[in-house]
């Protein structure tokens, strides 16, 4: 296999489903900007297929694809960590073997920056060409690298959207073909989603239910349903119980319902999963036994769903729920909110040197030290592999900096048995109007600054 046939790159491009896709303004805007910043007449976004170079966006020349034997960009991806620069295409021996692609005869200089997938695989390039021999300036190269990173983000977003689309298809199939009733209510208690089994059991259509509340649909049962719903949303904890409903046509039935808070882009909603237990309600002793078993399973699942198995800290799902809750309170002006994002410095090298069991033990110790360094009421999370997060309700920027520095010191001064371990920490404090994404992004940028400044420090 040649470098041009790299199976990982070809697989990544296949997953993106981008080859031979249509024109997208975001890519066109970036190639136009690339020409402006480098003062070059031609710019392309290219993707390296097995036997061809395909052009996603063009500025200055209209190209669709060129064979690999005419492709400068296939050479550029051989050095994925640095730009590929040719000051004179007619005299540089590195490109002497390449055929000249139609339309490219006048081009004399080339600058290409590889587009890297998350695992460091070069998928293609952002490149500019000039019809004169030239030396590209340092700031022009850096500008093109910045634009290339933006294109990489677009590609990652495309991959995410592809996965979400697939998940949505699978979710719909699962929800509409399972044996359970499922529904979602918004903050005004109106039904915003119901699955097919729910409609079939109730004998209603979506138009009958969506946008309506329990008091409109089943007034007799509504007070009890609302009481349970309000408890779930007030405590932000799951709840379960037997619910008795009377349909508009007078039928009585019972649901075993499990309700829980659900973080959505519009805030926290109420979700419910219910199973029809009408046929078994009269066999009370059997039902009670099954209830106990179900409660134990739900309790274990609930604990697993919000806890990281290795460190015992809250996990990423719990982080999203806690952040949504604390942001709502911060927006209401009841108290400030700060966030710490934490990265264990050079932890991959630590794992490589001492092995994953030792690395896992170190992560457990770090989690324990972070918990000891936090204040009462703070919440600690394992955010990713070697990344942690801490939410600090009631902490302004000064207090958050103090907690962050305490966390950094307790880890740096711990008597590690192998070699010292340090942390880089990013601090961000909520400002009015900030979303969960804004606050997390601010903390992430601060963390990036801490690492860029030498690590083992706090930034924010």
What number of other Cβ atoms are within 10 A of residue 168's Cβ?
10
Q: How far apart are CA 125 and CA 116, in angstroms?
A: 9
Nearest to 373 by CA among 351, 412, 403, 339: 403
CB-CB contact of 240 with 232 (8 Å): no
Contact indicator for 409, 346 with CB cutoff of 8 Å: no
What string of DSSP letters covers 287-325? HHHHHHHHHHHHHHHHHHHHB-TTT-SB-HHHHHHHHHH
- The answer to whether 306 touches 323, Cβ cutoff 8 Å, is no
From the number of C-beta atoms within 10 Å of its C-beta (0-12, 13-18, 19+), residue 332 rates as exposed
State the DSSP string of 40-63: -SEEEEEEE-SSEEEEEEEESS--
Q: Give the separation between CA 170 and CA 272, rounded to whole angstroms.
A: 19
Q: Are 124 and 9 in contact (CB under 8 A)?
A: no
Q: Catalytic residue among 288, 386, 387, 405, which? A: 386
Gap between the Cα atoms of 207 and 302, Å rounded:
33
- Side-chain half-sphere of 337: how many Cα atoms within 13 Å? 28
User: In the structure encoding, which two tokens stand for residue 229, read together?
Assistant: 């719903």
Q: ∠ CA 258-262-264 to the nearest 5 degrees? A: 155
235: Cα separation from own chain's centroid: 26
Q: Give the β-pairing of 239-246 and 84-86.
A: unpaired
Helix 25-38 with 138-177: angle, nearest 10 deg: 170
Active site residue 165: no
Q: How far is CA 300 from CA 18, 79, 292, in A?
A: 42, 49, 12
Q: Which long-range contacts (CB under 8 A, 24 or more apart) does 345-351 make?
A: 345/421, 345/422, 345/423, 345/424, 345/451, 345/455, 345/456, 346/455, 347/385, 347/386, 347/421, 348/386, 350/418, 350/419, 350/421
Please give the positions annotated as active site: 386
């Amino acid at each position: 296999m040649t470098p041009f046939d790299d199976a990982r790159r070809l697989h990544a491009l296949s997953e993106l489903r981008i080859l031979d896709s249509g024109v997208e303004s975001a890519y066109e805007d970036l190639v136009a900007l690339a020409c402006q910043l480098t003062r070059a007449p031609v710019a392309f976004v290219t993707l390296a297929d097995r036997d061809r170079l395909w052009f996603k966006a063009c500025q200055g020349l209209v190209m669709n694809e060129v064979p690999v034997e005419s492709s400068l960009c296939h050479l550029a991806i051989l050095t994925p960590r640095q730009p590929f620069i040719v000051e004179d295409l007619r005299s540089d021996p590195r490109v002497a073997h390449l055929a000249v692609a139609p339309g490219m005869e006048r081009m004399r200089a080339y600058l290409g920056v590889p587009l890297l997938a998350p695992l460091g695989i070069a998928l293609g390039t952002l490149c500019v060409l000039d019809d004169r021999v030239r030396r590209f300036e340092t700031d022009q190269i850096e500008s093109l690298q910045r634009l290339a990173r933006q294109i990489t983000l677009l590609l990652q977003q495309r991959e995410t959207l592809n996965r979400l689309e697939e998940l949505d298809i699978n979710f719909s199939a699962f929800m509409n073909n399972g044996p359970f009733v499922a529904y979602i209510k918004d903050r005004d208690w109106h039904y915003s989603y119901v699955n097919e089994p729910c409609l079939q059991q109730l004998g209603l259509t979506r138009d009958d239910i969506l946008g309506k509340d329990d008091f409109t649909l089943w007034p007799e049962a509504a007070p009890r349903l609302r009481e349970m719903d309000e408890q779930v949303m007030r405590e932000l904890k799951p709840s379960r119980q037997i619910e008795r409903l009377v349909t508009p046509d007078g039928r009585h039935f019972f649901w075993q319902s499990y309700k829980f808070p659900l973080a959505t882009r519009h805030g926290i909603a109420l979700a419910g999963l219910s199973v029809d237990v009408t046929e078994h309600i009269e066999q009370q002793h059997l039902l009670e036994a099954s209830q106990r078993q179900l409660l134990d399973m739900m309790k274990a699942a609930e604990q697993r769903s919000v806890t990281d198995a290795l460190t015992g800290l809250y996990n990423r799902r719990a982080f999203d729920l806690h952040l949504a809750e604390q942001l709502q309170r911060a927006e209401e002006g009841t108290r400030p909110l700060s966030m710490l994002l934490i990265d264990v410095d050079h932890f991959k090298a630590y794992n490589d040197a001492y092995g994953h069991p030792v690395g896992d033990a170190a992560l457990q110790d770090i989690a324990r030290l972070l918990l000891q360094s936090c204040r009462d009421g703070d919440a600690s999370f394992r955010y990713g592999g070697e990344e942690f997060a801490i939410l600090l309700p009631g902490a302004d920027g000064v207090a958050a900096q103090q907690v962050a520095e305490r966390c950094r010191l307790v880890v740096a001064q711990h008597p590690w048995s192998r070699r010292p371990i340090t942390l880089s920490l990013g601090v961000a404090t909520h400002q009015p109007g900030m979303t969960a994404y804004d606050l997390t992004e601010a903390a992430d940028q601060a963390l990036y600054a801490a690492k860029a400044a030498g690590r083992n420090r706090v930034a924010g």
